[in-house]
Structures are given as structure tokens and as C-alpha cells.
Amino acid sequence: MTAARPSRPGLPVGPALARIPFPLVDEMSRHGQRPGEPIAVHMEIRLPGQPDPARLRAAFRTALRRHARVLVREAPRPWYGRRYEWELTAAPDVEPVGFPPPGPDALARARARALAETPPLSLSPPVRLDVIRSSATSGGCVLLCTIHHTALDGPSFLRVLATAAESYSGTDSTPVPERTGPPDAAAGPQSPALDPGRPPARSARVAPAPAALARRRRGNGVVLGELPVHPRPPGADHTVNDRLLVATCLTIARWNRLHAAPTRPIRITMPVDDRPRGAEMPIGNGTRLVEVAFGSREYANEPSPEAIVALLRRTARRTRQLRAAPRPPLGHGAALLTAPVLPVDLRASITRGLGRAFGPWTSTTLLSNLGRIPYPLDFGDAGRADAVWVSAPTRMPRGLTITTTGIAGRLHVGLRWSRALLDDAAGRRLYGFFADYLDTVSAAALAAGPVVAPAVGPLATPVVNPAVAREGGPE
């Protein structure tokens, strides 16, 4: 006889569904959930036209069936349960595609909701897609998506959305091969900022502003913008991602100097995603986190163009080393925290306690560069996407994330902050710093010509910040 699954408010009782244990990254993300800190990936896709509601809903359901890993909800468990488990469903529990009433403030209201309300894990799928129009007769629209980060990351949802676009329009969603950058280093000397003989120092924190007022606020703020993609010198061994890292470091350094914050190493968490982008792409949280460290001497003063080029050269070497070094997704410590030897609720409490204890060593910020969007995202009569913005969750004590994508020859930037750290004026000012430094770094690199790496020796194992394993998964 088929066992019946436990009833849940709003859901019928029926045969038990297939379950899969939470992977390590999902569990760490679930452990780290705290009230008032949304853990949703926010995504906006701009289309020149408007899709037909019935066809879009049907296409999105087709995509969910093809990528069945999205059709999950958190399974109920007894208090002594040692695992979180996903319950796979055959169909959505709720309609994931919505068409809110159009209006001049519709996008602002939908964006505020995306940054404050995470889709519940108790209902399948834990994603929301709203079609936002400024008026009933407006020519274009925005697909505003909210994705619970415990279940999915941004690249996974983009793959699902590409399948939905293919189903809607009948066009091929095969990804265009990306232009490859410099190869990852198979060997290289250890950077002084990652010297394994030195214990990790406390990380620089983004200076709060204004502190007295911001700490009374909850939720997130975001700035979305478009920037040019500057050309790289022929033969350069650095990437656009390396430029973004240097610009992020210099942005935070300038902000902290203006606010008289203590000078400490700036550590930037960088997700690395090695998954294929085709229909066979594994869906879920599939990135691993590495940490790029910048010593305080590297940014203590406003750098000259020559100093920026030197910093870019060192950063390129660091990122090649980090990408090449084998490492579990969240480090070795996360495997211990997710070992099913204690009830999962007790392990969650321990993990949150360790997160507070290691807060001073948590990375300064997160830079998530999704790269060039490889899918056409062609929605037929609604047109092809000409902009894609993504913003990652930004939980304290980090409180600031920068997410970038490339489409239509432009760099789309989402700078997101916790209002417990910054107000909206501070967020906009930080975005301005970032845009200025990206121009400065790109101009300095172009003027200097190719960056030639010196001869390298054996690759040393980079030191892993102990807080990385407790940050709750890739963002």
C-alpha cells in the first residue's frame, strides 16, 4: 500500500512523493535564514514587447517540467529529523506567473516586494515571476523574478527561463559559446595576501552610514545600472572579472576612508560556476565560493594608474590560482556542520552561533559576475531580452553585494545593500564610486597594454577564511 504524505494547510493529502536530502549548499543556506533578512535572488529581464499571459504560463510550466528539480518544496519532518529534504512535486502548488495591474509605480512596488518577501519553501516552486507593465498600452515589460536562494541560484533560473523562452517562441535556446579568457593557472606562487603561514586577519567591513538611523531599518535596497564593457588589450591575461574585483576593492576602500573606518584586509567572496549552460545543466545551487584577498597596503591611498595596473596583475594571478585549486563548494568546515549526526534544528542553531562568532572574519562583500548571458531569451512576439539585471541576497554582517551580467554589449550591474548597514543615498553613492573605478581600471589597463605574467612555480594551497563555510551558500 502506498503511504500517504502528511497533510499541510492548503495541500491535499495524497501518495508520498519522492524526496531528496538537501545538498550541502542548500542546507547551509537554510541554516543561515534569519528574520528580516530576505534570502531571495532578484532578477529583472527587460523585453521590448508584452507576452501573451496564457502562452507564457504554459511555457513556464513546460520549463518547470523539463527542469523538474525546480518543482520542490521543503518536506515536513519530525523534531528529531536529521535532514532537510526536498519533496518533488508533479505540478506547481501555486501559479508562479503573475500579471499585476499595470501602472507607473508597478515596477517600484514589485521590486520592493522582491527585496522584502521571499517565496516560501513550503510551496512548490519556490520562485515567482511577475510581468510588470507601466500601463496597459505600454510597448514593453519587465519580467521580475524572485528566487528562493536555498533552492536555486541565478544561473540555474536563467537556464529555466531560457527553456521557457524556447517553449514560448519555438526558437532554439542553445547557449552561444563564451569567449574564453586566459587559462587558469596550473601552478603559481602563493600571493602574500593568501600566505598559508599567516592566520587570517579580521576583514574590513563596509562602513555604516548613517549608523544611528540605518540600524532601525529592515530589508534591502538596490540600484540597477548599465555600464559599457571596455575592451581588453590584445593578449592581456586578466579578465573582465579581474577588473570588477579591483573596482570593487577600490570602491570599498574609498568609502571606508571617507568614513574613517579601520584599515583591514578587504576580502571579496567570488562564486565560481563550472556547470555547462546547455539543457543538461544541473539545476540548484551549483557554484563554489572562493575568496580574493586584498592587503591593506594595496589600497591604503588613492592609487596611481601604474599602481592600478600592478594591482590588476596581482588580482589576475590570485583568481587563476583560486579557480584552479580543488576545494569543496563551501570549504571543509561546511561538511562537518552538515553531517547528519545531530537533529537538523540543533545543527542549525550551532551553525548560526558559529556565524555570529566568526562574523568579524566574514568577507567584506560579495561580487557575483554571471558573465555574458549565453541564451537568446527570445520570447517571440514579445521580443528578445535587451537587459538582464540580477541582485544577490546581502545578509549582515557583510551587508553589500554586487552582481553583474553582460548582454547586448553592455554590463548590467545590480548593487544591493542591507538597510541595517546603509541608507538609499549611501547605496547610490557607492554605485557611483563603482562605475567611476571601473572606468579608471579599464583605462589604466588599456593604456598599459598586455599584462604579461612572470614565470610561475608550484601552486600553494590558499588559506580559506573560516567564515566562508558559514555564510550560507553561494549568492
pLDDT the model gives residue 464: 35
Report, as an integer, the average pLDDT of 30-54. Answer: 91
Q: What is the DSSP string of 366-433?
A: EEEEEEE--S--B-GGG-B--EEEEE----TTT-EEEEEEEETTEEEEEEEEETTTB-HHHHHHHHHH
Residue 390 has pLDDT above 60, yes or no: yes
Contact 173, 158 (CB under 8 A): no
Report, as an integer, the average pLDDT of 364-387. Answer: 95
Of 39-48, 321-330, 450-459, which one has max mean pLDDT?
39-48
**Range name among 12-21, 125-134, 315-324 with the lowest pLDDT average:** 12-21
pLDDT top residue among 235 and 393: 393
Q: Three cell numbers at 321?
A: 590560482
**Range name among 170-174, 237-241, 292-296 with the lowest pLDDT average:** 170-174
Report, as an integer, the average pLDDT of 347-360. Answer: 79
Confidence of residue 301 (pLDDT cuts 50, 70, 90): confident
Q: Could you tell me what percent of the chain has a pLDDT over 70?
A: 82
Report, as an integer, the average pLDDT of 277-299. Answer: 87
d(CA 368, CA 208): 22
* H-state helical runs in 146-239: 154-169, 211-214
Report, as an integer, the average pLDDT of 384-409. Answer: 93
Residue 38 has pLDDT above 70, yes or no: yes
pLDDT the model gives residue 193: 39
Report, as an integer, the average pLDDT of 107-118. Answer: 95
CB-based contacts of 78: which residues, under 8 Å, 6+ apart? none
pLDDT the model gives residue 459: 32
Q: For residue 391, which phi and psi values (nearest 5 degrees)?
A: -135, 135
Confidence of residue 123 (pLDDT cuts 50, 70, 90): very high
pLDDT the model gives residue 349: 83
Count of CA atoms in the C-beta half-sphere (13 A) of 455: 1
Q: Residue 27: which H helix or E strand, with range?
A: helix 24-31
Contact 167, 59 (CB under 8 A): yes
Of 184-188, 190-194, 282-286, which one has max mean pLDDT?
282-286
Report, as an integer, the average pLDDT of 29-56. Answer: 91
**Range name among 77-81, 88-92, 262-266 with the lowest pLDDT average:** 77-81
Work out the mean pLDDT of the chain and round it to a whole number: 83
pLDDT the model gives residue 5: 44
Its pTM stands at 0.87
pLDDT the model gives residue 59: 97
**Range name among 91-105, 138-152, 190-204, 389-403 with the lowest pLDDT average:** 190-204
Measured in Å, how far apart are the chain's first and last C-alpha atoms? Answer: 42
Residue 408 has pLDDT above 90, yes or no: no
d(CA 419, CA 429): 14
pLDDT the model gives residue 211: 56
Q: Could you tell me what percent of the chain has a pLDDT over 90?
A: 55
Residue 175 has pLDDT above 70, yes or no: yes
pLDDT the model gives residue 313: 93
